Structure 1
Amino acid sequence: MGASTSAEPRVSAEQKEAEAVTASTGALPLLQKAFSKLANPETNAVPLENLQQCFSFGREGRSYSGSNVPDSFPVLLDHLASSLVDQFFVPDKEGIIWVEFVRGYNKCCARVSASVSLNMLMRVFAAISQSANVPLHLEFESGDDDCKVNGHVLPSNVFLLLALCWVMSWGGSRKLKGEGNLSLPDLNHLVLSVIASCGEVEGGLNVWDCDISSLEVQLPAGKFVTWVMSTVPCLPDCLRQYFHARLLIAASDGVELASSNSSSVGDISSPAAYDYILTQGRAWAISITQKSTRNEEISRAFISNGGGMDNNLLYRSSTHGRGLGRFWSHVEGYKGPLLILIAASSGDAHEGNSIDRKWVIGALTDQGLENKDIFYGNSGCLYSIDPVFHVFPPTGKEKNFVYSHLHPTGKVYQPHPKPVGVAFGGTPGNERIFIDEDFAKVTVRHHAIDKTYRSGSLFPDQGFLPVEGLISEVEVWGLGGKVAKEVQNSYKKREELFTEQRRKVDLKTFASWEDSPEKMMMDMMSDPNAVRKEDR
């Protein structure tokens, strides 16, 4: 017994504890495989160079494009790998031994509170900024994982942090080569959301015509943390996803994880190929607002594989035609979550201008649409998307989530007809968002009339009176995956079959030629004024 015990390697209590935490996340086999790939067989430790290469986002031969990409951003990406290694791993003289390798993974990817996860992201960003010599005025009160963050950030710092998180969302989905184009999406709507929520701009903030790069307003760190927790609580997950995915790539011998129909290797964005309301920047913003299968579908369709957007598009007014009828023919039968976006413009109350105030709002439903003259639904969110991004989740007080009512098919007299159109929040006749039958106008009312969704303005300077906007585009995106689309296709095939059967007339049901519809039509054509039996 003693001999067998001495032959087995001793496992320390610290190692057992670390492995138990990793095993609870299901990632222990992954770490074992990645460690064996990265470690030096002679020292049984991972050299720092190997680990930095695992987490690196190389930019050699890579070009950068996008709206107002600062020169400091590529430098930040150069220091991403070294900062991650320094932040989460404690090296030995030979490198990173197994127990420290596991501890580093647990520190970044183990289940922790939202505040700890955000604090970790802020520390990583501060370390990267310091290495890249980017000014950042953040201070952490202690080394604790959940300590208070003091100081302030500038709009330029916010943009860099958001851009870094977006790249980690992309970089975690594939093994990127050193060459290609990195095209950052437009993130101004998120930066303006931070400024509007956290800062006070001298002379006021004109969101309709604002150069974010020139703003020097100081945004308190505490308010910024509050904004992240209330608006984009999934933002810190980008770091965890990148960390985990890079180790997964290392464990797979560096095999690319992206699907075969993704964009070209090295090019992590496919912009300008489409002119949708739902740009990649807007889709990513929506995907980090809450943890749900709906947002995972958005991320999968628009972030991991930008070229597959058409597969999720159910309706677009400029393509399929305006009006409730055209709209309904494309969304009917879809039994999954839907993202409905409206691009509109409204005039300034003081200037009477109807073209300078362009805005985008949206609604995320938890289910498909139904033809009802009452509100329905179990869950959903409203979004102010452009020019300023905000999210309005349910309040739990009422359940008037969705209203979608078509004209009754029969000619039945209705003394009090219900509104015909699509609406979200409020009550019938007094909806928070109402799209008319022709899809020409959208009416947006003050949040005071709505107890279903959280209060707040759906676009800047909304005011208390109802605002009527001219619709330029409406889009509907299906977020139910392949199953929901297949169910809708089956539904459409059944409806087409029933319609075709109703059109057919079986002549055997008529007793004779004299009673057939063809005979009646021929008689009318020959002498339309003749007195007929039924007219006497």
Structure 2
Amino acid sequence: MGASSSIVQKGTSEQREVESLAASTGAMPMLQNSFSKLVNPQTNAIPLQSLQQVFCLNYKNPDCEASNIPDCFPGLLDHLGASIVDLFFITGREGVSWIEFLRGYLKCCGRMPASMALNALLRVFATTFTKAGLPLKLEFESSDDDCKISGSFLATDVLMLLWMCWTMLWDSSTSRCTKGKENLRLPDVNHLILSAVVSCTEVDSGFNLWDCGISALEVELPVGKFLTWDLTTVPSLTDCFTHFVNVRLQNSVSSEVKSELSSSSLGKIPPREVCNIHLLTHGRAWAISLSLKGTISAEILKPHLPSDSDETLENLLYRSSFHGRGLNRFWSNIEGYHGPLLFLVSAAAGDVHEDSALTQQGFENRDVFCGSSGSLYAIGPIFHVFPPSDMCLRERERERDMVWKDKNFVYSHLHPTGRAYEPYPKPVGIAFGGTIGNERIYIHEDFARVTIRHHAVDKTYQPGSLFPSQGFLAVEALISEVEVWGLGGRTAKEVQASFKKREELFIEHRRKANLKTFASWEDSPEKMMMDMMSDPNAVRREDR
């Protein structure tokens, strides 16, 4: 009896420990409801097939922005559910017990370092590849969560990994929608794959990055360097997996969730043609969101994921081809918006490239640099992120009230009003980084040209080339398009709407003439002008 009671006591203590860890994630009520919905009352365990069905994906005819979809990709998704269950949920004779259900959830979505979360994602990817009968040069030393990984990736393997993560993100948004239907749409991620290739391998000098097919790349990316690239460039990639697991378990509670959710995407999104005419395509929006956390990341992706909202492009504040070119047109559309902004510019100087800048507090019309935080992005043909430099962060933490020359995040200056003469006029335009007259990115007033300088002039953002083969000399390119997207959510839009309404009332008030002043003909300006025209040499004395 003593041995029996000690086992019961041990099991109770073990269960309390696992439940405490699960409760720390905030998902305990959802896990209890999900287990009670899936459990077999006779065995008090979840049948293996039922749990696999929870995570099952079945997209047969996906669409893609640019490149052709490999024939093996839809089949790869068919094995995702079984791979997740086999890796993280230990199955007994009767199925998955309550304790093992919680343990499996913690291995997927528990609090863990970023490296362990990435390890879990790669294990899911490798297991899914194996079940689909595809070759992959990845080896895991053990089944531990933090085990060492060896081997390498091919460019096509990185493509499959990114698309698998996007599919999980798409599916998570799909299950929250209630109207409309749309098939799985895969983004163009060539810029992300080239970023990984350049960061993980030594690219030949004759390699043409502007016109490169991913399927033709035969380089191998060492897994160690790939992990470093992932954690520094796209640290939110693992969130696609954890969010997918949470949403699928939450949906298993509702009896309204139907099995066809996995085979068709619900929700309303812009047509493919509408998204492709904008600079912020699916792939570019997702790449930028993977470098961010929180609500800003969700706002960037809002126009590109299934949604119940009818206003899919409500975050687009300015587009030069629609609203008109020039700083004045730009300012009339973004003035009063106090929230994070994404500024994108597409320019051509021999080859087309796209750059963007993310600001955290909007634009201010000032003749000096301003801002508190932000990042620069090189989008095409290679994706790179240039966050604030370490020196800038240390200076800001040390003296928050002082203006340091390496805190030059944003410069936005219109033509000054009310000044007759300026001996040293400040440049009119928009700039990011550098100093006045020596900016890292400078958009001219007419939005027709952009000047890009070497990172040596900039101490605000981290160093790096904004386009391939960028030299030390300044490069001037012709702008083809400029876009600005607001990322402050509904509150920022409402504040801007109130600001514009006040401005319109103020302008209307100024246009109205004060009729009391001109009530008498003798006092009217018309009579004074007529008297001057009739006899301009007449001597007039000022009334005192």
TM over 0.5: yes
Distance 2:318 2:50 in 1: 48
Please say if residues 22 and 110 of structure 1, whose CA atoms lie closer than 8 Å, have aligned partners that are also in contact: yes
Equivalent runs, 1:442-457 vs 2, <5 Å:
442-457=450-465
Please say if residues 182 and 269 of structure 1, whose CA atoms lie closer than 8 Å, have aligned partners that are also in contact: no
Please say if residues 284 and 299 of structure 1, whose CA atoms lie closer than 8 Å, have aligned partners that are also in contact: yes
Deviation of the 1:303 alpha carbon: 3.2
Distance 1:421 1:323 in 2: 9
Unmatched runs of 5 consecutive residues or more in structure 1: 257-262, 348-356
Please say if residues 76 and 128 of structure 2, whose CA atoms lie closer than 8 Å, have aligned partners that are also in contact: yes
Instruction: Tell me: CA distance 1:264–1:506, structure 2 relative to 1, closer, same or farther (3 Å).
Output: farther
Instruction: Tell me: CA distance 1:513–1:269, structure 2 relative to 1, closer, same or farther (3 Å).
Output: closer
**Greater alpha carbon shift after TM alignment, 305-314 vs 334-343:** 305-314
Deviation of the 1:510 alpha carbon: 4.0
**Matching residue's letter, 1:496:** E
Please say if residues 441 and 450 of structure 2, whose CA atoms lie closer than 8 Å, have aligned partners that are also in contact: yes
Distance 1:216 1:156 in 2: 9
Match of 1:98?
A: 98
Distance 2:537 2:297 in 1: 68
Kindly provide the CA deviation profile for residues 150-188 of structure 1, in whole angstroms up to 9, marking residues without a partner as x: 1110000000000111111111223399x9622211111
Equivalent runs, 1:149-228 vs 2, <5 Å:
149-175=149-175, 181-202=183-204, 204-228=206-230
Equivalent runs, 1:95-494 vs 2, <5 Å:
95-175=95-175, 181-202=183-204, 204-255=206-257, 265=266, 270-274=271-275, 275-305=277-307, 308-347=311-350, 357-396=351-390, 397=392, 398-494=406-502
**Matching residue's letter, 2:222:** P
Match of 2:84?
A: 84
Instruction: Tell me: CA distance 1:521–1:479, structure 2 relative to 1, closer, same or farther (3 Å).
Output: farther
Q: Secondary structure at the match of 2:369?
A: coil
Kindly provide the CA deviation profile for residues 53-92 of structure 1, in whole angstroms up to 9, marking residues without a partner as x: 11011235x4444422111111110111100111110011
Please say if residues 302 and 312 of structure 2, whose CA atoms lie closer than 8 Å, have aligned partners that are also in contact: no
Please say if residues 18 and 99 of structure 2, whose CA atoms lie closer than 8 Å, have aligned partners that are also in contact: yes
**Matching residue's letter, 1:282:** R
Distance 2:184 2:459 in 1: 43
Please say if residues 269 and 304 of structure 2, whose CA atoms lie closer than 8 Å, have aligned partners that are also in contact: no
Equivalent runs, 1:67-78 vs 2, <5 Å:
67-78=67-78
Distance 2:305 2:29 in 1: 27
Distance 2:540 2:136 in 1: 90
Kindly provide the CA deviation profile for residues 346-390 of structure 1, in whole angstroms up to 9, marking residues without a partner as x: 13xxxxxxxxx0000000000011100111111000000111100
Distance 2:54 2:539 in 1: 91
Distance 1:307 1:150 in 2: 47
Please say if residues 182 and 268 of structure 1, whose CA atoms lie closer than 8 Å, have aligned partners that are also in contact: no
Match of 2:397?
A: none
Q: Secondary structure at the match of 1:419?
A: coil
**Matching residue's letter, 2:343:** I
Instruction: Tell me: CA distance 1:448–1:126, structure 2 relative to 1, closer, same or farther (3 Å).
Output: same
Q: Secondary structure at the match of 2:377?
A: strand
Distance 2:193 2:379 in 1: 12
Deviation of the 1:520 alpha carbon: 4.6
Deviation of the 1:252 alpha carbon: 2.1
Deviation of the 1:200 alpha carbon: 2.6
Distance 2:216 2:353 in 1: 23
Q: Secondary structure at the match of 1:359?
A: strand
Instruction: Tell me: CA distance 1:327–1:523, structure 2 relative to 1, closer, same or farther (3 Å).
Output: farther
Q: Secondary structure at the match of 1:172?
A: helix
Equivalent runs, 1:39-50 vs 2, <5 Å:
39-50=39-50
Q: Secondary structure at the match of 1:508?
A: coil
Deviation of the 1:517 alpha carbon: 2.8
Please say if residues 314 and 331 of structure 1, whose CA atoms lie closer than 8 Å, have aligned partners that are also in contact: yes
Distance 1:531 1:324 in 2: 46
Q: TM-score, normalised by structure 1?
A: 0.90
Instruction: Tell me: CA distance 1:528–1:416, structure 2 relative to 1, closer, same or farther (3 Å).
Output: farther
Q: Secondary structure at the match of 1:278?
A: coil
**Matching residue's letter, 2:218:** E
Kindly provide the CA deviation profile for residues 163-219 of structure 1, in whole angstroms up to 9, marking residues without a partner as x: 111111111223399x96222111111011111111234463211111111111011
Deviation of the 1:135 alpha carbon: 1.3
Among the aligned pairs, what percent are the same residue?
58
Please say if residues 269 and 312 of structure 2, whose CA atoms lie closer than 8 Å, have aligned partners that are also in contact: no
Please say if residues 358 and 375 of structure 2, whose CA atoms lie closer than 8 Å, have aligned partners that are also in contact: yes
Deviation of the 1:411 alpha carbon: 3.0
Please say if residues 63 and 180 of structure 1, whose CA atoms lie closer than 8 Å, have aligned partners that are also in contact: no
Distance 1:296 1:242 in 2: 15
**Matching residue's letter, 2:171:** G
Distance 2:522 2:62 in 1: 80
Instruction: Tell me: CA distance 1:93–1:534, structure 2 relative to 1, closer, same or farther (3 Å).
Output: farther
Kindly provide the CA deviation profile for residues 315-362 of structure 1, in whole angstroms up to 9, marking residues without a partner as x: 000000000000000000000000000011013xxxxxxxxx000000
**Matching residue's letter, 1:507:** L
Kindly provide the CA deviation profile for residues 26-72 of structure 1, in whole angstroms up to 9, marking residues without a partner as x: 10110111111111222221111111111011235x44444221111
Deviation of the 1:308 alpha carbon: 4.3
Distance 2:535 2:206 in 1: 77
Instruction: Tell me: CA distance 1:211–1:264, structure 2 relative to 1, closer, same or farther (3 Å).
Output: closer
Distance 2:370 2:317 in 1: 21
Please say if residues 269 and 303 of structure 2, whose CA atoms lie closer than 8 Å, have aligned partners that are also in contact: no
Deviation of the 1:268 alpha carbon: 7.8
Instruction: Tell me: CA distance 1:510–1:130, structure 2 relative to 1, closer, same or farther (3 Å).
Output: same
Q: RMSD in angstroms over aligned alpha carbons?
A: 2.5
Instruction: Tell me: CA distance 1:105–1:339, structure 2 relative to 1, closer, same or farther (3 Å).
Output: same
Distance 1:81 1:215 in 2: 30
